[in-house]
Amino acid sequence: MIRQFSTLLLCASLAACDNSSNNDSNAPSTGRLMINGVEGLNYVTQSQSGTTDANGEFKYYPGETISFSLGNLPLAADIPAKQFLTFLEFPPAQRIVLEQGVVEEGLTVHDTAEKNALTDSSTNNLVRALILFDEDKSVKSDKKLKFTERTITQLNTALQSLPAEKPVDFSIAVTELTADNSWLNTLLASVCFYEATDERCETAPTQDEIDALKATDEKAAKELENKRTRIANGKRNTGQVLPTVIDDYVTEQANIITTEVSLRYAMLPYSVTLPATNQSLQKARVYAPRVTLSIADMQVKSNNDNIVMVQRFDKATGEIEFFATGAAGEETEIVVNFKVTGDYRWIRKTIRVRLT
């Protein structure tokens, strides 16, 4: 007997829906940058342009590519647009790494590839920069990145005066970017993240001004020195973002997206009980009630061929055929590993098989 999964229960359990769909077939799809969102980035596709909104969303048509910038600071170009994007996909070389995945125990996984991509200096440097330009430099759980108009205006001005020997380059080594005189620290030194009327946004008094005042008013000179310190302490720099902050933020966001995507799919049936004497072919399939099923690649294996053996599978239909080879009382799982068209993520589902 094969125990079928209740379609009603399945639909109720699939919390994630395809937000890229739209009732108007001519309307553009909606994508999101990072699951928590990134507000205030400029974006351009072949047909759309705008600024990511409060949810970090952008518009695109399937098949287009998208480019992002923070004001006049270019971040990434020609990324294949889709419903969920992360900073891991910004560097072109890392998109290849993610697409290839990593084979572990005979099956391809994407999470290890994501970890490898995160060690790339381009990715690391870009995320560090964006955290530093965020309104409050925080990436706590459930918090989005937000770039204010005031910050972007100051950044654009600073970019115009950036020395030629310090060109914007995210591909340099992390140690170069975090050096005191790096192009990023030079830009950060020109941006004040407080209200325009805040003392910390004023031009800092010079040491010569402080020394000159000491001759006539020691107390005033001390206050001027304290003001210089307060202004200096109000500046942001690359050392304020630890590597663990970058890793934790990007990894958490990527994992949530994987969960969201995975919830759209299930196996029908997900559990099978049959007599050990029944060696006829059994069938199961990948089920996607809320999205169009389009599998780009598929891998299927039994965890124990001596109990259950996979006969064949078809990525075009998502169907798997298998048969019992074991004895009564034994059980194992069939692992179904697949990725859908347009996404590098591998989704893993299982079919539990019990022999009686």
Domain boundaries, the chain: 17-191+236-262, 194-233, 266-355
**Collapsing DSSP states into helix, strand and coil, what is residue 352?**
strand
- What's the DSSP call for residue 72? T
- State the Cα–Cα distance between residues 135 and 133, nearest whole angstrom: 6
Extended beta strands in the chain, E state: 29-33, 38-39, 42-44, 49-51, 57-60, 65-70, 73-80, 84-85, 102-104, 107-109, 145-146, 266-268, 271-274, 282-287, 295-302, 308-314, 319-324, 331-340, 347-355
Amino acid at 34: M
For residues 86 and 250, the answer to whether their CB atoms sit within 8 Å is yes
What pLDDT is recorded for position 15? 38
Please give the structure tokens belonging to residue 170. 């995210």
Structure confidence at residue 6 (pLDDT): 34
Q: What pLDDT, on the 0 to 100 scale, is given for residue 140?
A: 80
Q: With contact defined as beta carbons under 8 Å apart, do 171 and 90 qualify? A: no
Contact partners, residue 143, CB within 8 Å, separation at least 6 = 36
CATH code matching the domain that covers 266-355, chosen among 1.10.340.30, 3.40.830.10, 2.40.340.10, 2.60.40.10: 2.60.40.10
Taking the model in full, what pTM does it have? 0.87
Q: Are 146 and 55 in contact (CB under 8 A)?
A: no
Report the C-alpha dihedral over residues 301, 304, 305, 311, rounded to 10 degrees. Answer: -30
pLDDT tens, residue order, the chain (356 aa): 333 333 333 333 333 445 454 556 789 999 999 999 999 999 999 999 999 999 999 999 999 999 999 999 999 999 999 999 999 999 999 999 999 999 999 999 999 999 999 999 999 999 999 999 999 998 887 789 999 999 999 999 999 999 999 999 999 999 999 999 999 999 999 999 999 999 999 999 999 999 999 989 999 999 999 999 999 999 999 999 999 999 999 999 999 999 999 999 999 999 999 999 999 999 999 999 989 999 999 999 999 999 999 999 999 999 999 999 999 999 999 999 999 999 999 999 999 999 99
Number of helical H runs and strand E runs in the chain:
10, 19
Nearest to 34 by CA among 60, 67, 58: 58
**Three-state secondary-structure class, residue 5:** coil
pLDDT of residue 11: 38
* pLDDT confidence of residue 24: 65
